[in-house]
Structure 1
Amino acid sequence: MLATQRRERILDEIRTHGAVRVADLVTALDVSDMTVRRDIAELARDGLVRRVHGGAVAPDTPARSTDEPGFEAKRTWSSAEKSAIARAALADVEPGQSLALSAGTTTWLLATLIAADPALRPLTVVTNGLRVADALHGVPDVEVVLTGGTRTPSDALVGPVADATLHHLRVDRAFLGVHGLDADGATTPNLAEAATDRALVRCAAATTVLADHTKWGTVGLARICGLDEIDTLVVDTGLAPDARAHLADAVARLVLAAPTATPATPGGQQ
């Protein structure tokens, strides 16, 4: 296939789906990762696409759907709400379980609470989050399994290596942090991270999504899962009444967590 033909195929995919992943194009076009990235770079120089982590989107895609802040920036946002959500989610953790924790600031807070509570052990925790793994590193009777993969700005490990690891695992419950949540489901701005998060959901017998109220109405570029795939959704009490009503009907179980004046800190202290 000529370069012009490949690039037209890439544009067709973006016109149809709004975005493309490099990994999918490598398979579809039967070319190398580097060839696909060169094609995307050329299309971007011509103003025909906009490059994002893991792929490309249409040039007029809103920035809010593709922006991916780093971990340190996100950990300061809605900290009291995230701490309340992490404490509420802890009720779904039982000794002897195998868990999957996605990367994210709320799942990291959950990991710190797990680390501080000996009554919850033993546990096996599978994660693609470097900060989550750090929080649980060296905790007695907690086995941590890192997926491997390529690191994102939010310290997530994503991509084919992470996805392949999760394909061969089965856990009791996945705890998933998300960038956005709306009537169509949970989303993230990173194409590759969405694929890895979907793999986390598929390997779990049940899925708990952790999302503070500011996530409602935010739409990331890539869809992770629909509301009907969420077994438990933990949000804070700042969620608007109309959103509460919608989510109560759409998910199997809705948990509302009330923030306290002093959020939880690493190590589980209040």
Structure 2
Amino acid sequence: MVIHRLGVVGAGLMGSGIAEVAARQGIDVIVVEANEAAAQAGLARITKSLDRGMRSGKLTEDARTDALGHIEVTTSFERFTDREMIVEAVIEDESTKLDVFRRLDPIVEDQGAVLASNTSSIPIMKLAMATKRPEQVVGIHFFNPVPVMPLVEVVTSLMTDPKVEQAAHEFAGGQLGKHVIKSKDRAGFIVNALLIPYLLSAIRMFESGFATAEDIDTGMVDGCAHPMGPLALADLIGLDTTMAVAQSLYEEFKEPLYAPPPLLSRMCEAGLLGRKVGRGFYQYS
């Protein structure tokens, strides 16, 4: 199944990135946001990313113009009536995502579109059961920043039709050129089930006063050849997203290694969410 018409719900960092990589492959993309201001901010984010690609020589001016010509931003879910696949990419909050799937289901029911979630931690089965056709729901988990990161996790629930899984694999791997790995439907999937306990352990170490943030990160970069230390990585991911994934993992497994440390909770409550707000474990200009 080749996707010609894609829908994306959400124009934040992930949604705008998904829209960009699809449009660069000639796919017609409609992005829906909650309001006009958010829609225009999403379009500006995509334009800025394409401009950056052009300045770095990775994209020609014609390719930039062509990609923008394949993207429409709107506030109307009704524009999705002809979509072959829709990817939900709203905030990592279960109730918000469930609401999106409830709204999408009757709109695309007649054409049998694939409904995908970019969730990084919420079991796909939970989202699928908000629809009348859970067999059409699949997880397609991209990584931030989407235009740069090569990996995608394709996640199937107990109900996902094998043809839908194949369509997701062909879309992400074939059309978008991503490296696809397959995961069963457990909270956190493959990458975050391994990554989040590591990040939380680093936060606990910093919280206890055992070492500075700089020394923790330097230890993992220079001692383990990681490209980025765990606290800087948590800032890049977003501490709110890190918190949400940890909560989802802890709810599923009830294991202490998944429990969010108090410091992470306090930082989220204070709005110190990392790079996107200019301050997390580090200050950003």
Please classify the TM superposition score into its range, dividing by the shorter chain length.
0.3 to 0.5
Instruction: Choose between structure 1 and 2: higher strand proportion.
Output: 1
Instruction: Choose between structure 1 and 2: higher helix proportion.
Output: 2
Structure with the bigger RCO (C-alpha within 8 Å, sep 6+) is: 1
Q: TM-score, normalised by structure 1?
A: 0.36
